[in-house]
Amino acid sequence: MAKVYVFLANGFEDVEALIPVDVLRRGGVEVITVSITGDSQVVETAHNVQIVADAMIEDCDFSDADLLFLPGGMPGASNLYGHEGVRQAVLAQAKAGKKVAAICAAPAVVLAQLGVLDGKRATCYPGFEQMLTKADYTADLVTVDGNITTAEGPAAAFPFAYELLSQLVSKEVSDQIAEGMRFKHLMA
């Protein structure tokens, strides 16, 4: 079973984190939400919703991760970048050629500043693309380049989640989940 860690920082965008968590879990992926707050498993979203994470970052070993996922939102993405443990985990994952995914502001605010997007095609929330100085900005809803998957913003949460599920399990399972959630019906 594939294993995904989702970093949650105060100020993360609700749907950008929770839709992928939901879709991946429906598809049989083990998803562990990780609080980086330092003092509590409770993380507050950009819209003041309290979420209880599965684990604290200090208690996690990311060496078994198939994917590390960074939701966007502000100041959530800045809080992710400001955390040394997140930066180290993302850099180790990327250097190992393992999957890293980010949505909205996180591709620019975290991945680009770490150099993870250097020479890669990537997307992010409009207005943050100027931070992608060493990446090829696509402006697409979802962009995949090798082991890196990026997405534009809240509206991309479902297509992004189905793309990640395709990568981690299979396109067939992803399509089945999308149909069951009526997403395929919406797009027809």
Q: Is 122 helix (H, G, I), strand (E, B) or coil?
A: strand
What's the pLDDT score for residue 38?
A: 87
Instruction: Please state at what angle helix 14-26 crosses helix 171-180, rounded to 10 degrees.
Output: 110
What's the pLDDT score for residue 39?
A: 86
What's the pLDDT score for residue 183?
A: 87
Mean pLDDT in each 10-residue stretch from start to end of the chain (188 residues)?
Answer: 97 98 98 95 97 97 98 97 98 98 98 98 97 97 98 97 98 95 71
What's the pLDDT score for residue 7?
A: 98
What's the pLDDT score for residue 140?
A: 98
CB count in 10 Å sphere of residue 84: 9
What's the pLDDT score for residue 187?
A: 58
Residue pair 101/68 in contact (Cβ under 8 Å)? The answer is: yes
> What letter would DSSP give residue 108?
I
Provide the whole-model pTM: 0.96
Taking the C-alpha atoms of residue 176 and residue 182, their distance in angstroms, rounded to an integer, is: 10
Instruction: Give one DSSP letter per residue of 16-45, joined into a string.
Output: HHHHHHHHHHHTT-EEEEEE-SSS-SEEEB
- Tell me the one-letter amino acid at 11: G
Topology of domain 3-187 in CATH is Rossmann fold (3.40.50)
CB count in 10 Å sphere of residue 180: 10
* CA-to-CA dists, residue 59 to 36, 42, 72, 112, angstroms: 10, 15, 23, 26
Residue pair 98/66 in contact (Cβ under 8 Å)? The answer is: yes
Residue pair 121/145 in contact (Cβ under 8 Å)? The answer is: yes
